[in-house]
Amino acid sequence: MPYYQIVQEERYMASQNNSKAKKVLGIIGTVIFFLSYIPFVWLPYAGIYGVQSGLFGGPFVYGFEAMEIYFLWLCIFPVYPVCVLYQLIFGIAYIRKHKILRIVTIVLAVCLAALVIGSGISYELKKQEKLNSERELIIDYLSDKYGEGVTRDITIRMTNYDDNEYRVTSPVLPDDGYFYVYTATADGFYDDLVNTYKRWDPTLLEDFDAYLNDLYDIPENMSLNSELDSVYFGDFTYGDDHDVLFESAEYRVTGIFVDEGDVTDDEVLEILDGVWEDQIPDLRDVITDGFFTLAIKENGNFAFYITIYPDFAQADISIYTGRGYQVYTELNGERIDLD
């Protein structure tokens, strides 16, 4: 066989081998290309069945919020970036050259997009349906508990479908403030408006303690410690004077602080007897925890911690320790009969 024929034969065989290799690589690459869409199928699944809002736990969220969280997780770990990069490179290098594969890719992408959008919209419609059915119930509940002023210009948004959790804005809080209402607790409706207001405006508790000190005629060197459980806001708007809230407030008195200079054991017992005889009788109806705390400060430092049990007319005396301050007393650990 002439030499040039041998060369042509070798070139032909080489081209055939290269063609077979490209076909095999194309098939493998195409399989990987379509498999790379599988992580995106989990987006609508997450939207329908929910994901936890935190990496290490938290309440379940659904719809677009769930898909956004899931998408971010798989970008951090980085599944989606790798998939998208491969799809871009292989799509440009191979898929775009084959009409059938281009069509299949477009159809797949459109179907995935439809699933993502559809699952998100479906959840939002479910939320809106439940919100519409409970909106008036929430407004009636808040109006009965706090007054109709609380529901002026109110906005209600569902934040957790499973827990029946709603985020509510109201004029009793700042413009960027909100609180939560739960409509399916064991005790029925529940809200955290009062606790939320306390966080926004800590002076509420200071003003309330001052109000109680005046109401119960507490001496100047003493101050009541209370728990404000509920407030009837009425027409109150954030920034108004707190005094309009206190007359109808529901509260508990948990203790009293006494500021003194140097005190002897006898003086501590005198203070205890004075509180028992002068303050406890007026406060009995608002001492609901079964005990009352008398805290005595000595020269600005907490010294004596006395737990009074009104129902048993007894008191347990203990001392504060720490910060290098030491109380010298023989009363520590003593139980005192008050009658």
State the residue for tokens 């509180």.
Answer: 275
Candidates 260, 255, 254, 253; CA nearest to 221 is 260
Q: How far is CA 264 from CA 103, 199, 320, 330, in A?
A: 93, 39, 15, 10
| Strand, coil or helix: 258 | strand
- Provide CB contacts within 8 A for 119, sequence distance 6+: 44, 47, 48, 63, 67
| Cα distance between residue 182 and residue 160, in whole Å | 9
| Cα distance between residue 236 and residue 244, in whole Å | 8
CB atoms within 10 A of CB 234: 15
pTM over 0.95: no
Q: pLDDT tens digits, the chain, 339 residues: what are they?
A: 554 454 445 444 444 445 565 676 778 888 888 899 999 988 988 888 888 876 666 777 888 888 998 899 889 888 999 999 998 998 888 888 888 888 888 999 999 999 999 988 988 888 889 999 999 999 999 999 999 999 999 999 988 888 889 999 999 999 999 999 999 888 889 999 999 999 999 899 999 999 999 999 999 999 999 999 889 999 999 999 998 899 889 999 999 999 998 888 999 999 999 999 999 999 999 998 889 999 999 888 888 999 999 999 999 999 887 655 566 788 888 999 998
Strand partners, 51: 61
Give the number of residues written for the chain: 339
What sign results for the dihedral spanned by CA atoms 226, 230, 233, 238?
positive
